[in-house]
Chains A and B, each alone.
Chain A
Amino acid sequence: MSKAEQLSASFRDPSGFLFTRNGTLYRQINRAYSNDYARLMDSGLYGKLVKAGLLIPHVESDQLPAESDAAFKVIQPERVPFISYPYEWSFSQLKDAALTTLSIQKRALKLDMSLKDASAYNIQFMRGRATLIDTLSFEDYKEGQPWAAYKQFCQHFLAPLALMSYRDVRLSQLLRVYIDGVPLDLASALLPLKTKFNFGLLTHIHFHADAQKRYSDKAINPRERRMSMSKQALIGLIESLENTIQKLIWKPAGTEWGDYYENTNYTDSAFEHKKQLVNEWALEKKPALVWDLGGNTGVFSREAALSGAFTVSFDIDPAAVEQNYRTVKSKKEQNVLPLVLDLTNPSPSLGWNNNERDSFAGRGPVDMALALAVIHHLAISNNVPLPQLAEFFASRCKWLVIEFVPKSDSQVQKLLSSREDIFPGYSREGFESAFSSRFLIRKAESVRDSERTLYLMETQ
């Protein structure tokens, strides 16, 4: 029997934990959680949620538990194709994750169960939809009980969504700093005055923050206060959160590249040729997982995804990622995942012991990476020398599809127009020589009607 390794993100909940054995992911359920698990399965809640695409499906496994003393059962959940984090999601992705959580809570309450936590990290995108991946999040609901996860829900979902909608979409990055969600006093201070005229935001954020401050060091004595919360009242609270979140909107406009493809310098035939090459090379190499680095709205990600690969489409621009996600939803695409990522400062390892949330690099390497129309941004705007770029890409993937954009290209000229050209080595020859130290260049095709070249390279 090979060794079981517990996942570093899964340690807080005494109900159980995730572990891998021989590359397969399992979840150990502890005896402390056996009643709640039986309730989840027997009440029909599990079946309903899985059918609605809201909860990750699993099978019970006969694998030995990783820690047998506490163990009750081992289950094998369906594998999530790529783990992403809330600070990498666009506005609508976070909004859908919030609505999934509330929808689950409503359905659970109907069957007298309740979510014991409401962490955004428990949601992942599977088949294009926000899905709860923590099977152990349910507990028995007893009438009168308030929602223990209310605070967490407001911090993980409502506060960042309100800030993104009312202030600036880039405030999603606060989630990178605050691992347990945006503190409500901070959200309350940053939100504009007009949010105090919105009943949901006034109560769930502003009043909530005040109450937290007032009672921060007081334990409440329930008997003294004679307060309890009927089930109807709890459902009212969930519906109020739902209404508040439904009304939060963000329209991608005025950001860097929202209309990038309408503003490019290439002709339709160059664009089509590039699509065709990406599609051909993906079909030839049959990658299981592709990262499109600088994927914009995902046009080329979709060409790779046509080969059957699960394709993660990263871009720095929240507007492009939002548009990409809306396409995924409207076309019901199952194997494209758009995410916000700054390649010059990618997601680090975060949380307890720097080990709870995996870095961008830690979630690779992948079978194939696409780097289309991105090299000039990294080499010229961000001053990364070509050998370092080669090193970067070689550590991320086995196959690299990369586009070289020469200095004569008008997009590069634009980057150079406001600064001194300190890049004598930035040429096709310099590029090929730098990348040859880490890659074998398998193919090089001139993109039709353009000065650009598309390469297929294999890591040495």
Chain B
Amino acid sequence: MHFAPQLYLDPGSGSILIQIAIAVLLGLGVALRASWSSIKKLFGVKPKPEEEEDNDDSENVQS
């Protein structure tokens, strides 16, 4: 893991480790969902249409 050498905030050891752990968990979730849909495909269940791409210009976080 390479950190930017000139960090001006202390990211905190615990905070770094936990975010990596959470990211791994979240990644597992994505992988599980992906494999679940391929299992469903094996049994002839059609996948849902792709979710809309996150569009920069139409995105309005403060709606």
- Contact status B4-A145, CB under 8 Å: yes
Q: Which residues of A contact B17 (CB under 8 A)?
A: 211, 215, 220, 227
Partner of A12, one of B6, B8, B21, B54: B8
Q: Which residue of A lies closest to B24 (CB)?
A: A233
- Contact status B61-A151, CB under 8 Å: no
**Can you report 8 A-B residue pairs in the complex whose CB atoms are below 8 A from each other?**
A13-B8, A48-B56, A150-B16, A208-B15, A212-B15, A219-B13, A228-B20, A229-B23
Q: Is A207 an interface residue (CB 8 A)?
A: yes
* B25 nearest CB across to chain A (Å): 7
Within 8 A of A (CB), among B9-23: 9, 11-23
* B48 nearest CB across to chain A (Å): 19
Contact stretch, chosen from A99-107, A314-322, A344-352:
A99-107
- Contact status B8-A203, CB under 8 Å: no
Q: Which residue of B lies closest to A180 (CB)?
A: B9
* A138 nearest CB across to chain B (Å): 12
Q: Which residue of B lies closest to A233 (CB)?
A: B23
Binding site for B on A (CB under 8 A): 12-15, 32, 48, 51-52, 96, 99-100, 102-103, 106-107, 110, 116-117, 129-130, 139-140, 142, 144-152, 154, 203-204, 207-208, 210-216, 218-220, 222-223, 225, 227-230, 232-234, 236-237, 240, 329
Complex interface bits, B30-49 against A, C-beta within 8 A gives 1, otherwise 0? 10000000000000000000
Q: Which residues of B contact A15 (CB under 8 A)?
A: 8
Q: Which residue of B lies closest to A114 (CB)?
A: B4
Question: Of A139, A211, A227, which is in contact with the most chain B CB atoms at under 10 Å from its CB?
Answer: A211
* B14 nearest CB across to chain A (Å): 4
- Contact status A237-B22, CB under 8 Å: yes
* A125 nearest CB across to chain B (Å): 11
- Contact status A212-B24, CB under 8 Å: no
* A362 nearest CB across to chain B (Å): 27
A13 to B6, CA, bound (A): 11
* B51 nearest CB across to chain A (Å): 12
A52-B57, A207-B18, A218-B13 known; A233 and B26 CB under 8 Å? Answer: yes
- Contact status B15-A228, CB under 8 Å: no
- Contact status A146-B61, CB under 8 Å: no
How would you classify the secondary structure of chain A's contact residues: helix, strand, loop or mixed? helix
- Contact status B11-A151, CB under 8 Å: yes
Partner of A215, one of B8, B14, B54: B14
Partner of A142, one of B2, B8, B9, B16: B2
- Contact status A146-B20, CB under 8 Å: yes
A103 to B60, CA, bound (A): 9
- Contact status B19-A229, CB under 8 Å: yes
A107-B56, A203-B18, A225-B1 known; A220 and B9 CB under 8 Å? Answer: no
Q: Is B59 an interface residue (CB 8 A)?
A: yes
A96-B61, A100-B61, A211-B15 known; A222 and B3 CB under 8 Å? Answer: yes
Q: Which residues of A contact B1 (CB under 8 A)?
A: 144-146, 222-223, 225, 227-229
A139 to B4, CA, bound (A): 9
A211 to B13, CA, bound (A): 8
Q: Which residue of B lies closest to A234 (CB)?
A: B23
- Contact status A215-B59, CB under 8 Å: no
Q: Which residue of A lies closest to B12 (CB)?
A: A151
- Contact status B30-A236, CB under 8 Å: yes
Q: Which residues of B contact A232 (CB under 8 A)?
A: 27
Q: Which residues of A contact B21 (CB under 8 A)?
A: 207, 211
- Contact status B56-A212, CB under 8 Å: no
- Contact status A203-B11, CB under 8 Å: no
Q: Which residue of B lies closest to A220 (CB)?
A: B13
A5 to B16, CA, bound (A): 37
A130 to B2, CA, bound (A): 33
Using A148-B7, A150-B15 as known contacts, list a sample of 5 further A-B pairs with CB atoms less than 8 Å apart, ordered by residue number in A.
A150-B19, A214-B14, A216-B14, A222-B2, A236-B30
Q: Which residues of A contact B30 (CB under 8 A)?
A: 236
Q: Which residues of A contact B18 (CB under 8 A)?
A: 203, 207-208, 211-212
A102 to B61, CA, bound (A): 9
* B9 nearest CB across to chain A (Å): 6
Partner of A146, one of B8, B16, B26, B27: B16
Going nearest first, the 5 A-B pairs with the smallest beta carbon separation are A233-B23, A222-B1, A212-B14, A211-B14, A151-B15
Partner of B2, one of A106, A145, A216: A145
